Structure 1
Amino acid sequence: MPDPAPAVLQVLPALVSGGVERGTVEIAQALVAAGFRAVVASAGGPLAAEVEAAGGRHVTLPLDRKSPAALTANAVALRHLAQGEGVRIIHARSRFPAWSALIAARRAGAHFVTTYHGTYNEGFPGKRLYNSVMARGDRVIAISEHIAAVVRERYGVGPDRLRVIPRGVDPVRFDPDAVSPDRVEALRRAWDLPADRSVILLPGRLTRWKGQRVLLDALGRLPEPRPVAVLLGDAQGRDEYVAELRRVAATLGDAVRIPGPASDVPAALALADVVIHASTDAEAFGRTVIEAQAMRRPVIASDLGGPRETVADGVTGWRVRPGDPGALATALSRVLAMPAAERRTVGAAARAAVLARYTTAAMQAATLDVYRELP
């Protein structure tokens, strides 16, 4: 009887939504397609069904709980799972469950791989030690050169273990030629957007550091009739911040829409004349930037973190000083005043750059190459 295919176990808190969760599903799909067995352990969520649909196995464990007792119990459960499934690699994607995964890997004789997804705040004693689990892998995957520099500086991880694998976008889903005018028009009607005004889109969850307030302050500096700014994203319970945004929006007449999250992100991007990334803290990567670029949209991004790698200033978009409404207003005025043909040239260069480096397929292939490095 032939030996079973090698198994990789991915570990994360839950599979509800988000870039980490989507990346987990994408790697499970790639593993199955490459002849591996894909196992994912989490507390569950809607995306668990996608793991199973891809031919992987999802195992529900309380990996979203944070307590010493949970850490120990999850370590035991993961070790039993790894031994029962013949897991060769345990890949941790989040800090607290990573400690359980590290213990399980060492006791099961499996390799330990991590993906370092963020800069991770170190604001109180012991936090660097807590974060350090993400630098303890036999291989440590950084999602950008920016994150790789953080890992090298804080933990001294060298080229023998550190690998940079940027996040990717699906160029088929995010293809401007595949988005029908009807899909775009449906959003225009739903958001009550006038046909004679430019549309500025800021996609991202509604939280202060994502810079929605910076965009509204920039919008107030533009002459009337102003473009319409759409703040697209989930508030995730930040009611006070949303109320603040609505108060500021009320001073700008009919120039702001806050519709919540969108189910058709490609159509929302296709609707925009310019897409904004206004984060005031350094993004580890910034997937919304490459999604917009894949859709050939002009992008104005904060000049820090991941977008310094994905936005070539004046070629595939523009970068501005973060947290500066005046600088953002100036850039908006300049970009919106450009002839449409010039904006299309920038958009075409942006999509070409995404296709060259920032696709889901490239991310999947590079991650599988990391797994294959480990004996």
Structure 2
Amino acid sequence: MTTILQVLPELETGGVERTAVDIAQACTARGWRALVASQGGRLVEELESVGGEHIFMPLASKNPFVMAANAGRLAEVARREDVSILHARSRAPAWSALHAARKTGTPFVTTYHGAYGQKNPLKSLYNSVMARGDAVIANSHFTAGLIRDRHGVSGDRVTVIHRGTDIDEIAKVPAERIARLRAAWGVEEGERVVLQLARLTTWKGQGVTIDAFAALDPALRKDCVLILAGDAQGREAYVAELEACIASHGLTGRIRLVGHCADVAAAMNAAEVVTVSSIEPEAFGRAAVEAQAAGRPVIVSDLGAVPETVLAPPQVAADERTGWRVPANDPAALSKTLSEALTLDARDRDALCARARANSTRFSLEAMCDATLAIYSRLLG
């Protein structure tokens, strides 16, 4: 039996983790065995519900001694479970997986998920493991360019596979689920939600969104609520900073930090407008695709891979846009565009949202899974 072992730090929340579960489900649907090694987390239960098997291992550690021990553990698993492919999705566990693959002769796949910081030769070496796979998956053309420029790897070894989204699931959320989530957030009937759905970390730009919302005309803002949904992952100092920023604008209660959101599909459908306000490049930016799949106007920072997911001038004509791209870390530009999105007339909004839904289908879950499993099959001959 074909057995795929995916390796990542943990199964808590985020695009890396979500993709690992999605690929595991695709493997089991094909009759393959899907193993995932990680330090565990809230997505383990879902992994197991789709037929995957979880192997606990301290793979979030960057301690060299723990990483070396993990290499031995992964090699043991590869031999014991007759693993066909080792697929690493993050740097520290990728070093362990690379050594395990070499010890056992197992084909090694990597997915370059992020625009990793690279400020010195040591960091370059650390990042390079993600370009050492027998096959290297880039989650966008932007990421493929980073791999080429940083590591000199291109051609047949690098394949662009955009992150996949369950378009149908997002497009067909029952009204009760949306209403339940709005109620959980304390949103009253008639209030419009401006949503940013991202883990709480500085580079995601929640502070920019707060400042932009505060700069809206009060008459426009009076029926709006800004929801910042996302897991702080222990960044309590950043949470306190955001709360202080909200208070300084006199918008406590009007801007809400609601924590982790498990129902992304309902969240996107609950929104009037979605923002992706990152101040550093997104290697892909799945939230922008999810917003379009829900037929919601989306405003994104013009960085990284977003030109691949959100169509806007000058890339396309104004009447072909599927959202807006604004300069990063520019609250004034974001506020101006947010005002435009919130005041669209019904006809223009419906046309925009229809284009957005059509555009989102380019990033389907099925396309991602089929392309990934095709790489596995190619490596196995």
Which range, TM-score by smaller chain? Answer: over 0.9
* 1:21 is aligned to 2:17: yes
Structure 1 95/330 Cα, relative in aligned 2: closer, same or farther at 3 Å? same
* 1:104 is aligned to 2:105: no
Could you tell me which residue of structure 2 aligns to residue 289 of structure 1? 288
Paired residues in the alignment total 368
Asked if the contact 1:179/1:266 (under 8 Å) is kept, the reply is no
Q: 2:235 aligns with which of 220, 238, 241?
A: 238
Asked if the contact 1:179/1:270 (under 8 Å) is kept, the reply is no
* 1:316 is aligned to 2:315: no
Q: 1:37 aligns with which of 29, 33, 52?
A: 33
**TM-fit CA distance, 1:354:** 1.5
How far apart, CA to CA, are the structure 1 residues paired with 2:190 and 2:76?
62
Asked if the contact 1:116/1:141 (under 8 Å) is kept, the reply is yes
How far apart, CA to CA, are the structure 2 residues paired with 1:267 and 1:49?
20
**TM-fit CA distance, 1:78:** 1.3
Q: Deviations over 1:195-215 (max 9, x none)?
A: 444321111112221111111
Q: After the TM superposition, which segments of 4 or more aligned residues of structure 1 sit over 6 Å from their partners?
A: none
How far apart, CA to CA, are the structure 1 residues paired with 2:87 and 2:186?
45
Asked if the contact 1:75/1:104 (under 8 Å) is kept, the reply is yes
* 1:344 is aligned to 2:350: yes
Q: 1:179 aligns with which of 132, 150, 174?
A: 174
**TM-fit CA distance, 1:162:** 0.2
**TM-fit CA distance, 1:270:** 1.6
Residue 145 of structure 2 aligns with an amino acid whose one-letter code is A
Give matches, 1:40-51, under 5 Å. 40-51=36-47
Asked if the contact 1:274/1:297 (under 8 Å) is kept, the reply is yes
Structure 1 unaligned spans of 5+: none
Structure 1 331/104 Cα, relative in aligned 2: closer, same or farther at 3 Å? same
SS in structure 1 opposite 2:169? coil
Could you tell me which residue of structure 1 aligns to residue 315 of structure 2? none
Q: 1:332 aligns with which of 338, 341, 359?
A: 338
Could you tell me which residue of structure 2 aligns to residue 211 of structure 1? 205
Q: Deviations over 1:139-177 (max 9, x none)?
A: 0000111111100101111212000001011123212x4
* 1:367 is aligned to 2:363: no
SS in structure 2 opposite 1:127? helix
TM-score (norm 1): 0.93
**TM-fit CA distance, 1:194:** 4.5
How far apart, CA to CA, are the structure 2 residues paired with 1:162 and 1:110?
19
TM-score (norm 2): 0.91
Structure 2 unaligned spans of 5+: 313-317
SS in structure 2 opposite 1:8? strand
How far apart, CA to CA, are the structure 1 residues paired with 2:48 and 2:185?
35
The percentage of aligned residue pairs carrying the same residue is 50
Q: 1:354 aligns with which of 346, 349, 360?
A: 360
RMSD: 1.7
Give matches, 1:73-112, under 5 Å. 73-112=69-108
SS in structure 1 opposite 2:124? helix
* 1:229 is aligned to 2:234: no
